[in-house]
Structure 1
Amino acid sequence: MAATLEERVDALEKQQNHTVGNNTNITFGGFIKADTIYSKYSDGEQATSSVGEDFMVPSTIPVDPTGQADSGSGKLNMIAKQSRFWLKSATQTSAGEVRGHIEIDFQTNGMGDERISNSYAPRIRHAYLTWDKWLFGQTWSTFFNVSALPETLDFVGAAGTVFERQPQIRYTNGALMLAMENPSTTLYGGDSNPSEYDDNSMPDLVARYNLTGDWGNVSLAALGRQLKYQDTVGGTAHDESEYGYGLALAGKLNVGERDDVRFQLNYGNAMGRYTTLNAFRAGQIEADGDIDLIDQWSGVLALRHHWSDRWRSNFSVSVSQADNPDTVAATTNDTIQSAHANLIWQVAKPLALGGELIYADREIDNGEDGDLKRVQFTAKYDF
């Protein structure tokens, strides 16, 4: 009798584990993800950056500062670049077990065009090693509770989420996590384009405490950052720095046997690039060269509900806002909102098909806004 699909998948999973030498075990996997995306914008034909066509990037939603723009006619985009591959290793040594993880996908790095090849270069998502209580390398920021991210077909999902991967050194002891992470400063008002400065002399510092149980998990994280730049402002060279903070309360709460509620609440005067895909900068460079830090907050609330063993839905809403000083440009982002609703059919253990409705709105400092309405269909095969 021919094996069932589930039996073939189980056999494949067993084949994914390979032993190299006498003390190293290698595991690999990933997924193929094909997306068909139809977008319609209230203030133009397409996103102001091509990456905004592949997934929802709030700052790329077109907004006409004069309020005179016509609605776009809609645009279809089909991609497979979010497919990914990962490899993990575990090596037994006299000093204990050393683990490694490297993962790539093909998002954001174009090598060809849509006329012929649709080619995209691989990029590093994660590349880190762990030993004892230590982690070294690039992975999700310790400030980000990944389990609180809603399950969306969109690549990132809720606009106000914390979303950051970067090199770091992390120490974990039970529920406590402490990390030094790669710094980068983004500010309004400077001569640098795109207003990113790599002049920091101090790492971003993160402390996080996790509570976990059969009920789910909740984390409280604190972020301390140096915001620094070296630039010419008003014809005078400046070397300025300020110190700011961020706080994040996030988690996933189990509801019944399979459903859950996910949430994030983020606040601080140096959040900047850590939330809303850097739709807001951490501060404004004033006329005298000083840095005026910007208070910012964001919230995410999501529900995952299983209709049956093979059908589930996710509903999420999000809002993010900055208290900009009067000196920012009129086109500076003020408020971002988003909503997602999807229906996913788990055809078999490795195969899922789904559809998602997406709405997002971007309001700029002069009160004008633009919105995105999007329909996305996804086919995904995990291996």
Structure 2
Amino acid sequence: MWNNKKKASLGGLTAMALAMGTTSALALESQVGETTVGLYGYARLNMAYSFDQDAGSANEGYFGDIERSEDKVGDQFQASATQSRIGFRTSTPVEGSTLYTVIEGDFWSYNDDNSRFRLRHAYGSWNGILAGQTWSNYNTFVAATPTLDFLGTAGSNGYGSRLAQLRYTMGGFSIAAEDPKAQLAENIDGSVPEDDLLPDNDDAVSSMPALSLRYEDSMGDFSYSIAGIARQLKYDTGSEKDTEMGYGAFAAGAYHAGPVTLRAIVNASEGANSYLYLSGDYFNGADAYVDTNGKLQTLSGDGGALGLSYQISPQYSLNASHGYTDVELGDPTVGGNAGRKNKNTFLNLMWTPNERLMYGIEYGYFETELADGREEDASRVMVAAQYSF
């Protein structure tokens, strides 16, 4: 933990813990003048066995791989250590407040096919002002039930990853200007001549940041988070252009009753499915498409998740979660991440004989329904071992 003699505020500690995940309390620390320096991270092994169809990589399941499973066999074993992580952090008293800095990375990549050091967090925070890259302000961990699967339960977050941003936090309230994320669906059925294809994601541009608001707090055994986001959707080919606005909102809650924790979240979006967690093939869904008149048409989406955790003993915990997302079709000539319904369910047992050690086993079930009505599903078993420092 951070040295209490540094007088770090509770709000700052909470923000740091959320930013760095479950290893934040396990840092190796030293004192350099007035600055506390910490090194933290973990080494992790994931192993997965897919039964009937390919369900993704050793680290997580992908709805996109399940969709294309007719070309990929099941009965498949995979192993990976690329989720392993390392981070560096500091805290320094500056002008009556505490300056925090964090730089963190891992070796993860989609489908585990391009291992390299990947930047996760790189930011500074002082006096309520945060600048850099960290979890999107349009995000929460209140409804995130623990999974061994690296991506976790569909619909359980907002954006669900990290973005470059400028954020101001005061108590439980935070406002941010973030790197905007937009995804335009494409024409797929051949109704438009190849020489006259409609604009797609390659033509998407942004001329303003995404603006997000969030309030997160707790009352006794109940914790909650509510958030909203507004972002611009725009394309420009040089000869054609159009602009629309997209909006999203979520509400999440968790109730702790002795050894049992219940969690839930609901999400809604209009032209902001890039912020609807795991609503696409490999991450989030499409926000809009360009029709034959050159107009942007926004896509609606919704999602939600339920979870339950039971602390069997101080060392053993049982976790179950189910989530779904639904991005509307909008137009039969539009495909990609439009018109997709995703669901996944997890059941796991985690053993933590020490705060630095975790072993677990998990069953995961994935189901995706495409715009043409085709449905595909897959199931897998995953085991993991994690050693933290």
TM over 0.5: yes
Most deviating of 170-179 and 294-303: 170-179
CA-CA distance at 1:311 after TM superposition: 1.2
Q: Aligned with 1:360: secondary structure? A: strand
2:245 is matched with which residue? 243
Most deviating of 119-128 and 133-142: 119-128
Q: Compared with structure 1, are the counterparts of its residues 202 and 341 closer, same or farther at alpha carbon in structure 2 (3 Å cutoff)?
A: same
Q: Aligned with 1:61: secondary structure? A: helix
Most deviating of 328-337 and 73-82: 328-337
CA-CA distance at 1:75 after TM superposition: 1.2
Tell me if structure 1 keeps the 8 A contact 2:279–2:327: no
Which string of whole-angstrom CA distances, capped at 9 and with x for unpartnered residues, describes residues 177-202 of structure 1?
11110012101127699835551011
**1:23 correspondence with 2:34:** yes
Question: What is the TM-score when the length of structure 1 is the normalising length?
Answer: 0.84
Q: Aligned with 2:274: secondary structure? A: helix
Task: Give the RMSD, CA atoms, in angstroms.
Answer: 2.5
What is the alpha-carbon distance in structure 2 between the residues aligned to residue 379 and residue 328 of structure 1?
Answer: 45
Most deviating of 84-93 and 334-343: 84-93
Q: Compared with structure 1, are the counterparts of its residues 166 and 244 closer, same or farther at alpha carbon in structure 2 (3 Å cutoff)?
A: same
Within 5 Å, give how 1:135-146 maps onto structure 2: 135-146=130-141
| Residue from 356, 381, 386 that aligns with 1:350 | 356
Tell me if structure 2 keeps the 8 A contact 1:98–1:131: yes
Which string of whole-angstrom CA distances, capped at 9 and with x for unpartnered residues, describes residues 207-238 of structure 1?
11123133131111011010111237xxxx32
What is the alpha-carbon distance in structure 1 between the residues aligned to residue 260 and residue 373 of structure 2?
Answer: 38
Q: Compared with structure 1, are the counterparts of its residues 17 and 296 closer, same or farther at alpha carbon in structure 2 (3 Å cutoff)?
A: same
Q: Compared with structure 1, are the counterparts of its residues 341 and 14 closer, same or farther at alpha carbon in structure 2 (3 Å cutoff)?
A: closer
**1:77 correspondence with 2:82:** no
Tell me if structure 2 keeps the 8 A contact 1:286–1:292: yes
| Residue from 160, 164, 168 that aligns with 2:161 | 164
What is the alpha-carbon distance in structure 1 between the residues aligned to residue 383 and residue 244 of structure 2?
Answer: 44
CA-CA distance at 1:357 after TM superposition: 0.2
Q: Aligned with 2:142: secondary structure? A: helix
Q: Aligned with 1:60: secondary structure? A: helix
2:303 is matched with which residue? 298
Q: Compared with structure 1, are the counterparts of its residues 243 and 330 closer, same or farther at alpha carbon in structure 2 (3 Å cutoff)?
A: closer
1:121 is matched with which residue? 116
Return the letter of the residue paired with 1:149.
A
Return the letter of the residue paired with 1:17.
E
Name the % identity: 27
Which string of whole-angstrom CA distances, capped at 9 and with x for unpartnered residues, describes residues 267-316 of structure 1?
01123222233502001111111111011000011111111221111100
Q: Compared with structure 1, are the counterparts of its residues 52 and 229 closer, same or farther at alpha carbon in structure 2 (3 Å cutoff)?
A: farther
Tell me if structure 1 keeps the 8 A contact 2:154–2:279: no
| Residue from 322, 325, 330 that aligns with 2:330 | 325
Q: Compared with structure 1, are the counterparts of its residues 263 and 328 closer, same or farther at alpha carbon in structure 2 (3 Å cutoff)?
A: farther
Tell me if structure 2 keeps the 8 A contact 1:185–1:196: no
More strand, by proportion: 1
CA-CA distance at 1:326 after TM superposition: 2.3
Which string of whole-angstrom CA distances, capped at 9 and with x for unpartnered residues, describes residues 91-143 of structure 1?
223363211011111001799x7xxxxx8211111111101011111111111
Return the letter of the residue paired with 1:92.
P
Structure 2, unpaired ranges of 5+? 1-24, 188-196
Task: State how many pairs are aligned.
Answer: 349
Q: Aligned with 2:82: secondary structure? A: coil
Find runs of 4+ consecutive structure 1 residues off by over 4 angstroms. Answer: 190-194, 330-333
CA-CA distance at 1:150 after TM superposition: 1.5
Within 5 Å, give how 1:168-183 maps onto structure 2: 168-183=165-180
